[in-house]
Structure 1
């Protein structure tokens, strides 16, 4: 048993020295400590502490933690690149702060045969390369401590099975379709979305974007054949040609997390009132593109939370007292203490009191300091998505305040006369004296 905990500090002291300190710790306590407890105290004294699952994203190269088994796979044989046989098994484990996958290789894979769902384990392991979503086990043993776990097998976002599932969810937000290149050189289109149900939010990648054609954000849908992505962080699914998406009459409520319960890692959906809002600040991304960032604070009447808005979300008009909803924000420790919630790509930020209506609009894409606009010579709206400047597009979607959230966007054919008329109207608006 001493060797189990010695794995945590084998880079600091010798095995003989570790055993000596464990024996010394037992003697100091008058034989009231058992060997595992004494070993844990020695490990702690050397600065290697047990952590919660949400802290597994830390910089340490080695972690030790307690967790309850939620699901497991049987050992599976595979062929290595060198032709040798190998074995692998996976455990899904959790505590009150989240879940993670524990991967057992070769001789350790057989240990899952002696592990039951519900068992509490003490695990020592490290991340594989740069991946933060799973732990490769170096050692593990059953533990007698109590662990509270919020996730249970049977919830649609838990478990290790990759079998397709059916979902009843709200389409919270959807980006415009974009092209991708397959390994064989052919191209296709995909669309990234955010959905939500009674269990929270989840990413949805549509490899067949036509499934979502004409479905505006805010709609409740029944998704048949959603494939879980078990290697993604948090809940994630994908749909393809074999899946279906239909409008549903079901009532779906997405839960919000109280601001005081937001930890320093993970994804959260929250709502609150804007207490303070700084002005957006422009910056240049690493790729050389312009972007914006804005810091605000929101309150739910009991607690406050710092929120950082990125990209076009930072440009949305805001003032103190506005009620806002945030879906799938990423929490982290703030640079100056406390916790902040990052809201950018993959998140949805909205003012629920906005007048929202369906809209069909044709215009020219015009980039500006306030974001990307679509202008028809008479009216101008902010538009969500990426478009070629100067492109003529026809969109259908939802108008939320001064922003169009497209459900579809296609090139618009215009006659030279129509284009000349629109250009003249635009020039007249630019040249008009301002009062």
Structure 2
């Protein structure tokens, strides 16, 4: 019986025992024997002392992520997929071509990279493994990566399979467990998990503890698309994360929320927390819309790829200098967020060649920001191109059609779908726009979480004209805007749909 099998058998019958605790017992037996015991021999002695019989067969016990240590072979564990990175090719020394892909997998006790090699890369595409799936990693081997983090590698003997979700199974936290936003934290207490980008790294400071020993503390500034947060690293975590760089994407598990003076908060990271570096923003060719929003004040590299989910008509206007201009709005989604792209002057004419569902690449232009929401403005300095649709983007969910509660809407939202009841009957009037009389209906709608003003222009104003208080209404692809006071409101655009 191999060493790994003996270890599994011991852990299977001693479920309270941690892997590291067992390894310490085995090492102690080897020291007592002064080098005359192999790993397998020492493990058999420990098994005997613990009353574990090795002669009969039992099912193998899957490890948890915090059981993994470098050097282990033939490990099996399960977890939630937090990220899937595209395959990469490379040349070996003998001139042959190899390929690999990487996943990030997490459970309640940790996060680890899974590196899949060569033919095994097909396991990801054939099973359509995606972020949020629960997977079982079989027969991997554990090594340290370039950053010193543990990685589980799947070679010729390894395998990967998607597990069906079971109700009430708390072994695999939901993706929301790992995916809190910084703006959510003021409402949270105790331990939380989230991910974000390193925005700034401050110096390390040492301090004297009450017992006379030295401690260490370091602060970093973390950002996501909803805001920024001070993260405080303590003692061993300072050393463990000494190589953090601006732009690093980190997954934090079990950080502790600490309320500071006023409404401010910090997230404290100690030995019970896990911080996993999942890549660096500046090493990606095309950032996601969500990542662009989190890093925009660090990086003016403007390159966005997304599916066209909405568009508006070309509008003509006169500038202060008397010249005439044109502007059209399109809205792109890549599954992580929605970005409004304003096409100016000659670029606005491209609208005639675009259709809903096109895959659009935008390069150049400049960003404007209002209330934390980004708009990309494309003029003579930018470029827009319709790309060939890929399977990845073809299967994107229409995030703008997923209903949101009115009370959850923020100024950062772009296109949303809401439904509720009419709180006040519509007020309908005609507005003079460049000599043209355009109908406008203004009404208030609400659900159990809040209420909001809805402005409906042109022909759709007649759809809501006769609604009464209490009538049901659903608005798809409404544009989130603000009134002069800064309060959010909704308005229709060309692709907005109304159901009454």
State the TM-score, normalized to the length of structure 1: 0.40
Q: Which has the larger radius of gyration?
A: 2
The structure, 1 or 2, with the larger RCO (C-alpha pairs under 8 Å, 6+ apart) is 1
TM-score, with normalisation over the residues of structure 2? 0.36
